[in-house]
Amino acid sequence: MLYTPTPDSLYHPPSTHIDPLGYGKVAIVTGCASGIGLSVTQLLLSHQFSVCGLDISEFDYNLLRVEDHGRFHFHRGDLTEPGVPEDGVRISRQSFGGRIDVLINVAGILDNFSSADGITPEIWSKVLATNLTVPVMMMRSVLPYMKERKEGVIINVASTAATSGAVAGIAYTASKHGLLGATKNVAWRFRNEGIRCNAVLPGAIDTSIGKTIATASGKNGLDPEAYALVEPVHALQALPSDSTPTITPLEVAKTIIFLVSDQARTINGVSLPVDKAWGVV
């Protein structure tokens, strides 16, 4: 029956809409608690994916639609700790019936802009561990299940700093360059096993990291000499007389969803800038 016989109350038709992009599929998102990872999580859920979100920070469920809560599982942990990436994958499989269709590696941290003459071993290790080792360990953990089913999509969130030497410190720059290498290696190695692996290269995005960069000048702990050389390059992306990044996390998330979708079925091993041409400088 199309209409209620007594239309004096709100009628909710039974929902029969199925979104072929995500219905019945499972995605793992690292760094899901804020910024780009949160946007990706919200967008995947809106496309009916089940999502296992991993983050070192607490997750605010108020940022998800109530109707999506049943398809979301959050696991809190420091992904740089041994065994935590593997735990995340195990927990996702336990929560959502074993399959893993998609991995989105978003979790990452900024460095303090320091250069080769000032980088401390602590900052180098932490940035490389978070931005490079964690994504590789996550890929290592999901690949057996993707290979088994002969399908899977991996997206690594790199940065303009993955191809430029002029927008961040040495640790962040090296970690994101490394992530591109890992992306290409996985794309080529598993191309005949139904697995695609691509990277996105966001420019300055309006998130906590983006705001840190935009307002970094004079901050404690930052290398002022190195930052003075990076700042003019960042200014090229900001609007005149405004240092706020102009690209939103949702815009990055939409690009990621495109790469996840079948519309990108032949796209494998690419590094796709999301930067309004900043990367061509």
Ligand X SMILES: NC(=O)c1ccc[n+]([C@@H]2O[C@H](COP(=O)([O-])OP(=O)(O)OC[C@H]3O[C@@H](n4cnc5c(N)ncnc54)[C@H](O)[C@@H]3O)[C@@H](O)[C@H]2O)c1
Residue 9 Ramachandran class (φ > 0 left, ψ -120 to 50 alpha, else beta): beta
* Residues in region 159-198 near ligand X by CB under 6 A: 159
Binding residues for ligand X, rule CB under 6 A, total 27
Stretch that binds ligand X, among 8-16, 77-85, 141-149, 191-199 (CB under 6 A): 77-85
With CB under 6 A as the contact rule, the residue among 22, 210, 273, 279 that binds ligand X is 210
Q: Which residues contact 102 (CB under 8 A, 6 or more apart)?
A: 25, 26, 27, 28, 44, 49, 152, 153, 154, 155, 260
Least distance in angstroms from the C-beta of 143 to ligand X: 20
125 is a site residue for ligand X (CB under 6 A): no
109 is a site residue for ligand X (CB under 6 A): yes
Active site residue 147: no
Residue 249 tokens, joined = 């996390």
Choice between 55 and 101, CB closer to ligand X: 55
Residue with tokens 């809409």: 17
Q: Which residues of 183-199 are buried (b: 16+ CB within 10 A; e: fewer)?
A: bbebbeebeeeebbbbb
Per the residue annotation, which of 61, 176, 211, 219 is the catalytic one? 176
55 is a site residue for ligand X (CB under 6 A): yes
Amino acid occupying residue 113: F
Stretch that binds ligand X, among 64-72, 203-211, 226-234, 236-244 (CB under 6 A): 203-211
Active site residue 126: no
35 is a site residue for ligand X (CB under 6 A): yes
Least distance in angstroms from the C-beta of 43 to ligand X: 13
Amino acid occupying residue 73: H
CB 201 within 8 A of CB 211: no
Q: Which residues contact 16 (CB under 8 A, 6 or more apart)?
A: none
Residue 59 tokens, joined = 């997750």
Q: What is the largest CA-CA distance in the chain?
A: 77
Which residues in this chain contact ligand X in the complex, by CB under 6 A? 31, 33-37, 55-57, 78-80, 106-109, 130, 157, 159, 202, 204-205, 207-210, 245
Active site residues: 172, 176
